[in-house]
Amino acid sequence: MQSEAVRELKDCWGQVARGELAESADLERAVGEVFVVLRDPIYRYVFSTVRNAGDAEDLTQETFIRLLRDLRRGHAIENVKAWLFRVAHNLVIDFSRRAPVPESLDAAANQRMTEGVPDPSPSAEERALDSASRCRLLRSLAPQERRCMELRAEGLRYREIAEILGIKIPTVQTTLDRAIRKIVEQRNA
């Protein structure tokens, strides 16, 4: 499904590049289909940093709008998925510079509670504790470690992660190794 949508987008881009596809409707449709396939992974990645659902939604949509704009300008995009994550990452970095990011997911959850939105987290004590420990686990990771882990969890190769984050491949290797060791330590503790 994912590869089909991406392949179709590439075909579309090929037609745009060759001047065969002067119409915007096909490109719009193709981007729409890629959006359906990749919106949730991009959203999760964005949310892991901005920690606000509304902002994550806006930035995710902006990412795909940029895809459409770039394709319309005839830019070549070989790896659509990695490109989207890179744009999302840049948007998140820009956003983080402008707006303060909540300290933790607990803060975000508290914010939701105060907004009157029912908290969907489990009410049972043990599940709450489990949830809290999992939040701690994620919080124990440095931002760069968390980003590397998130991108790896989305199935991206080390080379792609390096491209997205603008770092070298050995740095990705050591960052991921460090993140894994931290999690192992948390587990043992």
Partner 1 sequence: MHSRRLRKFLDGLGHPTGAELLMYSDGELSGRKTRHVRSHLHHCWQCRLELEKIGHAISDFMDSRNVEASQFPPPLKWSRFGLLLRLATAGDITSRPLWNLWPQFPRRGVAAASVALVAAALWLHFSSVAPVSANDLLSRAETSEIKAAQGVNNPVLYRKIDFRFRSSSRQAGQAGAIESWTGLKLLPAHHRSSAPFWPQFESVLRRNRMGGHPLLSAAAFAEWRNSLPGRRDNVSRGKWRDGREAITLRTVAHGLTGPGTILESTLMVRVEDWRTVQQSVRVQGEADIQEYELAEISAVVTPMSSLDASIFGTPRTEVPSRPAAPLSSTVPARLPANGSADTEIQVRYLLHRIRACLGEDIAVASNSSGRVSVDGIVESSARKEELLAALSQIATLEMRIRTFDELRPAASPVPRALALRTPAGAPAVESSVPPIERALKGRVSGSRILELSNSAVSLSESWMAESWALRRLESGFSAEKVDKLSGAGRKMLAEMVRDHASAILAGVSASEAEFRPYAAPEAVTSQESNADAAAWPVSVRSLFDAATGAADLVRALCTGSGPSADAPADPIRTLDTALLEARAAAVRVRDNADTIPRPVTAPK
The answer to whether 128 and 121 have CB atoms below 8 angstroms apart is: yes
The span of 79-87, 88-96, 171-179 binding partner 1 (CB under 8 A) equals 171-179
Query: Rule CB under 8 A: is residue 108 a binding residue for partner 1?
Result: yes
How far is 54 from 69, CA to CA, in rounded Å? 23
What Cα–Cα distance (Å) separates residue 81 from each residue in 5, 40, 77, 120, 181? Answer: 11, 12, 9, 30, 28
Task: Report the nearest approach of partner 1 to the CB of residue 44 (Å).
Answer: 6
Query: Rule CB under 8 A: is residue 95 a binding residue for partner 1?
Result: no
The span of 56-64, 78-86, 92-100 binding partner 1 (CB under 8 A) equals 56-64
- Residue 100 CA neighbour count, 13 Å, CB half: 5
Out of 2, 61, 90, 111, the residue judged to bind partner 1 by CB under 8 A: 61
Task: Report the nearest approach of partner 1 to the CB of residue 39 (Å).
Answer: 6
The answer to whether 95 and 59 have CB atoms below 8 angstroms apart is: yes
Task: Report the nearest approach of partner 1 to the CB of residue 4 (Å).
Answer: 11
